[in-house]
Amino acid sequence: MRNLVRTASFRLTILTGGIFLVFLIVTFVIYYWIAVSYVYQRIDEEMDWKIQTLTQEYQSGFDPSDPDLLEPGTYVLLQDVNGRFIAKNLPMESDAQRWLSQLQPEPTPTNNASQTFRAKAVSLPDGSRMVVASDLNDIHVVNEFFGEVFVWILAAIVILSSGCGVLVSTIILRRVGEINLLARDIMNGRLDRRIPLRGTNDEFDRLSSNLNLMLDRIEKLMDQVRQVSIDMAHDLRTPLARLRQSLEGARRQATCMEDYEKAIDKALIQNEEILETFSALLRIAYVGSGVDRQRFENVSLTDMLETIGETYEPIAEERKQCLFSTIESGLMIHADRKLLTQMIVNLLENAICHTPAETQISMTASRTTGGVMMVIADTGSGVSEAERDKIFQPFYRLETSRTTPGSGLGLSLVSAIADLHDITINLSDNRPGLRVTLFFPTPSTRKL
Amino acid sequence: MKILVIEDDQETALYLVNGLTEEGYVVDLRADGQEGLMQAMDETYEVLIVDRMLPGLDGLSLVRRLRTANVKTPVLFLSALAEIEQRVEGLEAGGDDYLSKPFALSELKARIEALRRRPPLHPIESRLCVGDLEMDLLSRKVRRGKIPIDLQPREFRLLEYLMRNAGRVVTRTMLLEQVWEFYFDPRTSVVETHISRLRTKINKGFTPQLIQTVRGVGYRMDQDA
């Protein structure tokens, strides 16, 4: 029960009840005021009428002892000039003059002390004075009625809103409880658990569905991290093992200074490879964690690609490949120049390193709707459709490229840099070969 | 030639001091940022080697204060924080070069040499000469003896960098950073290929060979090799 009372839904229901109550009280007071004013008005009108009839009757000869003269609830006090009572059934004296006033009788054993009168006095032409009074029973009736109704309504609202609060909170608590229970399960390592949906498409279903999607993503990322750790361990163990072998070999077999030097040089190269893998991992992590976009600048993609083309043409030529570029002039993008250079160089070097001699490699860039389209295509052996997604995963290497040097991290870095710049990368068949299409959205169409 | 090393990691400090002393430098070492700053202000050094993460006062603040105090000694940052942005931070703080750990001693030495004899910039100077090789920076023409040499823009920049640093070793990394603005290690032999093409162009029919390979380190442009 304490839990229930502490829920937001319970508090909200009570709050709604409270606000409703305040409105009700205000309405009630207004109604009460209108009713009472009406009753007073009626009493006053009645008294005026009585004064009028009594005055007429007094002037036309008046029998003060006539019991029919006064209706029940109406009281009269008539004094002549000398203050002698001509008629009196009002249980008190009155000094009321012309105005309306409230009279309270002296408490005596015979009268009802709580009786209150409303009186009006007039002076008659012969100098005598008449006071007409009416008791306020009607007002008491109204008061009692309103009082009673108010208590009932108050009770009803308190009971109803608490009831609603408990009901709503119970329902919500149950669903939240399910989610909480599940969250605890997941914390305990059962990452495959999902929140069941009711199919009602209410806010809970939508929340659950989003949480489920989040869990899917987390599970996928966890898998990736696990996979990367395993791959990293594997990929680093190999060069470390090699390093150890060559050092052991040198320890056992080296006979002269020259042997030692050779062994050390080899060890240094192997060490360099390991360090390179680490710096690639660090850079991917660094780019993935979101480089400050404030550092982005306007970069001439045309100049950048022309420079890269100029740099790599001789390198392709040395490998008996042919690199040609067709770059539209005046292409500008908003980017981190250094990271972007590395991304394009990585893609181009992939095309150069993973294709045989006689391969044609082309690099093109041109304006298109909503941005700039860049294509790096080769006529090599290509990448099968099944493997196209996987090659962006860290340490993933195609069987055909296992033997070529490289950390298997180049494309992961490409993917991270592309993400940072909202660049979409698409791999397709170049018939034959691989075609990498990059789309650079212009800043206005870039999603935020 | 006096160098001040401000580095708190004992292993690295020892490696630096030993390595640089062997190369004939006089090396002072401070392990604390504050002490390092004092030392750099008190004495005159030719180059300061500053680690970024230091006890007392971090490397960036140290160099900023040094520059505020108008001390213009060239500073080489040495740091495990190797990312481009961090490098930019280093240079913005007033550093002159940035070398990420781990590094080879030969690379460090080449960079120290480049810093220490960084020629004062003559805005009027429009010609670079090494032996009979001449480069006109305004008309962007190169000739050796009387023969004009036709260079592509990137080759021109490569040659310019080599000529500006004539007589001292420039490493592969220095060339990648300065000529191509590549702040990573490409998988293909970018530097080697372009040096080889440049050599062919400027050495064709001439002696001596002006670009020498320094094995395991880099290249040096020199007329009397």
The pLDDT value given to residue A34: 92
pLDDT at A405 over 70: no
- B153–A contact, CB cutoff 8 A: yes
pLDDT at A447 over 50: no
Give the three-state DSSP class for A232.
Answer: helix
Q: If you average pLDDT over residues A225-237, what whole number do you get? A: 81
Q: Where are the beta strands (DSSP E) in A331-423?
A: 332-335, 360-368, 371-378
Q: Residues of B with CB below 8 A from A353's CB?
A: 187-188
The pLDDT value given to residue A446: 46
Q: Residues of B with CB below 8 A from A275's CB?
A: 102
Please enumerate in sequence order all residues whose Cβ is within 8 A of that of A160, keeping only pairs 6 or more positions apart, or say none.
A17
Q: Residues of B with CB below 8 A from A314's CB?
A: 193-194, 197
Complex ipTM value? 0.81
Residue of A311, A300, A306 lying closest to A337 (CA atoms): A300
Structure tokens at A313: 């043409």
Please enumerate in sequence order all residues whose Cβ is within 8 A of that of B28, keeping only pairs 6 or more positions apart, or say none.
B2, B3, B4, B5, B39, B43, B45
Give the best residue of A311, A313, A336 to mutate against chain B (max B CB count within 10 A).
Answer: A311
Inter-chain residue contact B181 with A337, CB threshold 8 Å: yes
**Which residue in chain A is spatially nearest to B151 when comparing CA positions?**
A310
Rounded to the nearest angstrom, the minimum Cα separation between A349 and chain B is 7
Q: Which stretch of A59-63, B163-167, B212-216 has the lowest confidence by average pLDDT?
A: A59-63
- A273–B contact, CB cutoff 8 A: no
Distance CA B14, CA B109 (A): 15
Structure tokens at A424: 């979409």
A339 neighbors A417 (Cβ within 8 angstroms): yes
Rounded to the nearest angstrom, the minimum Cα separation between B175 and chain A is 13
Angstrom CA distances, A255 to A260, A262, A264, A408, stand at: 8, 11, 14, 37
Inter-chain residue contact B182 with A276, CB threshold 8 Å: no
Please report which confidence band the pLDDT of residue B5 belongs to, taking 50, 70 and 90 as the band edges.
very high
A406: which DSSP letter? S
- Across the interface, of B153, B183, B197, the residue whose CB is closest to A338 is B183
Q: What percent of chain A has pLDDT over 90?
A: 19
pLDDT at B48 over 90: yes
CA A335 and chain centroid, separation: 32
Q: Residues of B with CB below 8 A from A318's CB?
A: 193
Q: Residues of A with CB below 8 A from B185's CB?
A: 276
Please provide the DSSP assignment of A188-222 as one string.
TT-TT--PPP-SS-SHHHHHHHHHHHHHHHHHHHH
Please report which confidence band the pLDDT of residue A300 belongs to, taking 50, 70 and 90 as the band edges.
very high
Rounded to the nearest angstrom, the minimum Cα separation between B190 and chain A is 7
The pLDDT value given to residue A366: 93
User: Do strands B75-79 and B97-100 pair parallel, antiparallel, or not at all (unpaired)?
Assistant: parallel
Average pLDDT in chain B: 88
pLDDT at A136 over 90: no
Please enumerate in sequence order all residues whose Cβ is within 8 A of that of A66, keeping only pairs 6 or more positions apart, or say none.
none
- B150–A contact, CB cutoff 8 A: no
pLDDT at A445 over 50: no
pLDDT at B198 over 90: yes
Within the 191-210 window of chain B, which residues sit less than 8 Å (CB to CB) from chain A?
193-194, 197
Residue A120 C-beta-side C-alpha neighbours within 13 Å: 15
Provide the number of CB pairs (under 8 Å) joining chain A to chain B: 56
A211 neighbors A196 (Cβ within 8 angstroms): no
Give the best residue of A261, A292, A295, A338 to mutate against chain B (max B CB count within 10 A).
Answer: A338
- B188–A contact, CB cutoff 8 A: yes
Please provide the DSSP assignment of B116-133 as one string.
HTPPPP-SS--EEEETTE
**Which residue in chain B is spatially nearest to A272 when comparing CA positions?**
B102
Residue of B76, B85, B24 lying closest to B50 (CA atoms): B76
The pLDDT value given to residue A98: 47
pLDDT at A293 over 80: no
Q: If you average pLDDT over residues B200-218, what whole number do you get? A: 86
Of A307 and B81, the structure prediction assigns the larger pLDDT to A307
Distance CA A35, CA A144 (A): 12
Inter-chain residue contact B187 with A405, CB threshold 8 Å: yes
- Across the interface, of B84, B154, B185, the residue whose CB is closest to A339 is B84
Q: If you average pLDDT over residues A201-226, what whole number do you get? A: 87
Please enumerate in sequence order all residues whose Cβ is within 8 A of that of A332, keeping only pairs 6 or more positions apart, or say none.
A298, A299, A300, A301
Please report which confidence band the pLDDT of residue A131 belongs to, taking 50, 70 and 90 as the band edges.
confident
User: Do strands A322-327 and A129-135 pair parallel, antiparallel, or not at all (unpaired)?
Assistant: unpaired
pLDDT at A361 over 90: yes
- B187–A contact, CB cutoff 8 A: yes
Distance CA B174, CA B181 (A): 9
Bridge partners (DSSP) of residue B170 are B219
- B181–A contact, CB cutoff 8 A: yes
Q: Residues of A with CB below 8 A from B180's CB?
A: 307, 311
Average pLDDT in chain A: 82
């690199």: which residue's tokens? A323
Q: What percent of chain B has pLDDT over 90?
A: 46
Distance CA B187, CA A349 (A): 7
Distance CA A150, CA A131 (A): 36
**Which residue in chain B is spatially nearest to A292 when comparing CA positions?**
B85
Of B223 and A333, the structure prediction assigns the larger pLDDT to A333
Q: Residues of B with CB below 8 A from A292's CB?
A: 85
Length of chain B: 225
B169 neighbors B113 (Cβ within 8 angstroms): yes
- Across the interface, of B83, B100, B187, the residue whose CB is closest to A353 is B187
- A231–B contact, CB cutoff 8 A: no
pLDDT at A314 over 50: yes
Angstrom CA distances, B24 to B19, B109, B169, B199, stand at: 9, 11, 16, 32
Within the 339-398 window of chain A, which residues sit less than 8 Å (CB to CB) from chain B?
339, 341-342, 345, 349, 352-353
Q: Residues of A with CB below 8 A from B83's CB?
A: 282-283, 286
Residue of A375, A388, A372 lying closest to A422 (CA atoms): A372
- B10–A contact, CB cutoff 8 A: no
Rounded to the nearest angstrom, the minimum Cα separation between B159 and chain A is 14
pLDDT at A247 over 70: yes
| Angle between the N-to-C axes of helices B105-116 and B10-22, in degrees from 0 to 180, rounded to the nearest 10 | 60
The pLDDT value given to residue A448: 42
pLDDT tens, A34-72?
988 998 888 888 888 888 888 887 777 766 666 566 666
Distance CA B65, CA B175 (A): 30
Give the three-state DSSP class for A178.
Answer: helix
Per-residue burial over A78-107, b = 16 or more CB atoms within 10 Å of its CB, e = otherwise? bbeeeeeeebbebbbebebeeeebebebee
**Which residue in chain A is spatially nearest to B102 when comparing CA positions?**
A275
Positive or negative, the CA dihedral B167, B172, B177, B178 is: positive
CA angle A399, A393, A212 (to 5 degrees): 135
pLDDT at A282 over 60: yes
pLDDT at A97 over 60: no
Structure tokens at A257: 């200074």
B184 neighbors B120 (Cβ within 8 angstroms): no
Q: If you average pLDDT over residues B81-102, what whole number do you get? A: 86
pLDDT at A128 over 70: yes
């002549």: which residue's tokens? A80
Distance CA B39, CA B124 (A): 36
Inter-chain residue contact B183 with A342, CB threshold 8 Å: yes
Q: If you average pLDDT over residues A372-378, what whole number do you get? A: 94
Q: Amino acid letter at A125? A: P
Please report which confidence band the pLDDT of residue A108 belongs to, taking 50, 70 and 90 as the band edges.
low
Residue of A170, A191, A171 lying closest to A182 (CA atoms): A191
B175 neighbors B191 (Cβ within 8 angstroms): yes
**Highest-confidence segment of A170-184, A280-294, A427-441:** A427-441
Distance CA A49, CA A55 (A): 10
Q: If you average pLDDT over residues B184-188, what whole number do you get? A: 87
A380 neighbors A366 (Cβ within 8 angstroms): no
Distance CA A365, CA A440 (A): 10
The pLDDT value given to residue B59: 92
Q: If you average pLDDT over residues A250-277, what whole number do you get? A: 86
Q: Report the 10 Å Cβ neighbour count for B151.
A: 20
Residue A62 C-beta-side C-alpha neighbours within 13 Å: 14
